[in-house]
Amino acid sequence: MELVSTRNNSHKVSFRTAVLECIPSDGGLYVPSTEEDLRPWIMYMDETTSFASIAGSLTSALLKEEFSPVVSERMAGSAFADFSPRLNQLDDNLFNLELYHGPTGSHKDFALLWFASVLEHMLTIEDRSATVLAATAGMTGRSMAAAFAGKKRLKMILVYERGTALGLDPACLARNGGNILPLEIDGSLQDAQQLVRSIYSDPVLVRQYGLTLANTMNIGRLLPQVFFYVFAFSRMRKKIRGDIFYAVPSGNYGNLVAGLYAWKFSLPVNGFITDATPSLSCDVSGHCHCLDSIVPLMERGPADPASPSNMERLEQVFAVSPAMLRGLVFPAEVNRTGVTDLMFRAYKKYGLMLDSASALAYGAIEQVKDRIESDEGTVVLVSKDHPSFEAERIRTSCGLGSSFTGLKAPLLEPVEQVKRYPVDRRIIEKLIREFH
């Protein structure tokens, strides 16, 4: 697979380059340069094909120039030996794809597990190491640490705002000989992001210490999210007839873009439903509209390495044919103050407990029925994160009392003896040098 920047489609790079040197000099984001026909692989898979096998086969098909089939299967098998999404049928026309069955209950677990496995293999082949520096909140930090823990070629520095370093396995921490270094700053998450942003803006420092990113600015973090959609299709392909739509929480549009890549790679899908945001909504005629598109790419600032959005990738998918955007993506205005009511309705109708983001996607399904022009279409609702992260809110909205318990305690416990520092870039640079 060759990749190009969203801001320069003439300079092609390998997957290896796009992963290890993940920040294009032109300020854009790496994207696939061509469409891939994965239909022969997709149509061969069914409900008996494990998620690990799906991931291994698609890795081999997409990255055949860089990884052999055996290596692809090994990397995917290592990542997903114990973890898989789940697809549940709720009624004749609605399925629920649960992405929270990884080690920390976050949808990010799966992409990070694959990314860490692939990155470790690449670094081993080249006999080098890399360090990930990330500003993070509790849930994302747990997921990153769980995926990278124990990797011999990878180190990770997690920068938290004060009091938010939670749920890390003590065995993986640097003070115990591990490869994860958590620290807190006397500032906000925005302060932590600005520190990280300033570090990655220094190309000399990035090269010197082999810094790379593990968020969706890195195409290696985004690409495995394609596997979710193929997994869901493999489970329902023999059960349904007619059109297929996915209802995807908006977030930073990573899952939506990955779904569109799956479509470009020949996955049978007729559209994507999502909750509208100021960045992605409907114009006066009811068609999908990207607000950012009114500003030419070359007049925008560079993509943000500390808190990325995938909107630019979404725009790139439809740059050649804007009409396809109107026919494939269906944003719906959902009242965000009514999330608890949506949670209750999903629980009352299906016994389904949803996190807030997934509840908004659930609300979007009803809003777009008259726009997708499909009376017999099947919708797959994507659930991102374990509902127990919002246990108190779900108890209140669904009336579950004490019967609905939260996640296991270790995922919510503060990291002991985590060091705290002032908001100072020089300190972060010093820690990178010492930990390298």
Q: Stretch 183-189: mean pLDDT, rounded?
A: 94
Q: 60-118, pLDDT tens digit by residue?
A: 999 999 999 999 999 999 999 999 999 999 999 999 999 999 999 999 999 999 999 99
Contacts of residue 430, Cβ cutoff 8 Å, sequence gap at least 6: none
Q: Stretch 284-294: mean pLDDT, rounded?
A: 74
What does the alpha-carbon distance between residue 198 and residue 212 come to, in Å, rounded to a whole number?
A: 14
Q: What is the pLDDT of residue 373?
A: 61
Bridging pattern class, strands 86-91 and 329-332: unpaired
Q: What is the pLDDT of residue 412?
A: 74
Q: What is the pLDDT of residue 159?
A: 96
What does the alpha-carbon distance between residue 272 and residue 283 come to, in Å, rounded to a whole number?
A: 17
Instruction: Kindly calculate the radius of gyration of the chain based on its CA atoms and give it in whole angstroms.
Output: 21
Q: Stretch 7-34: mean pLDDT, rounded?
A: 91
Q: What is the pLDDT of residue 375?
A: 65
Tokens 């995917």 belong to: 76
**Average pLDDT of the chain to the nearest whole number:** 90
* pLDDT classification of 406: cutoffs 50, 70, 90: low
Domains 2-107+221-390 and 129-209+414-435 share a fold: yes
Which residue has better confidence, 261 or 319?
261
Its pTM stands at 0.94
Q: 104-122, pLDDT tens digit by residue?
A: 999 999 999 999 999 999 9
Q: Stretch 222-250: mean pLDDT, rounded?
A: 94
Q: Are 337 and 360 in contact (CB under 8 A)?
A: no
To 10 degrees, what angle do helices 108-126 and 226-236 make?
Answer: 120
pLDDT at 50 over 90: yes
pLDDT at 388 over 70: yes
Poorest-pLDDT segment among 37-51, 112-126, 389-403:
389-403
Q: Are 213 and 147 in contact (CB under 8 A)?
A: no
pLDDT at 369 over 90: no
Burial 65-104 (b: 16+ CB within 10 A, else e): ebbeeebbbbbbebbbeeebbebeebeebbbbbbbbbbbb
Q: What is the pLDDT of residue 403?
A: 53
Q: What is the pLDDT of residue 322?
A: 67
Q: What is the pLDDT of residue 436?
A: 82
pLDDT at 24 over 80: yes
| Domain 2-107+221-390 fold | Rossmann fold (3.40.50)
Q: Are 340 and 327 in contact (CB under 8 A)?
A: no
Q: 132-180, pLDDT tens digit by residue?
A: 999 998 788 999 999 999 999 999 999 999 889 988 999 999 999 999 9
pLDDT at 297 over 60: yes
Q: What is the pLDDT of residue 150?
A: 94
Domain map of the chain by residue range?
Answer: 2-107+221-390, 129-209+414-435
* pLDDT classification of 296: cutoffs 50, 70, 90: confident
* pLDDT classification of 213: cutoffs 50, 70, 90: very high
Q: What is the CATH number of domain 129-209+414-435?
A: 3.40.50.1100
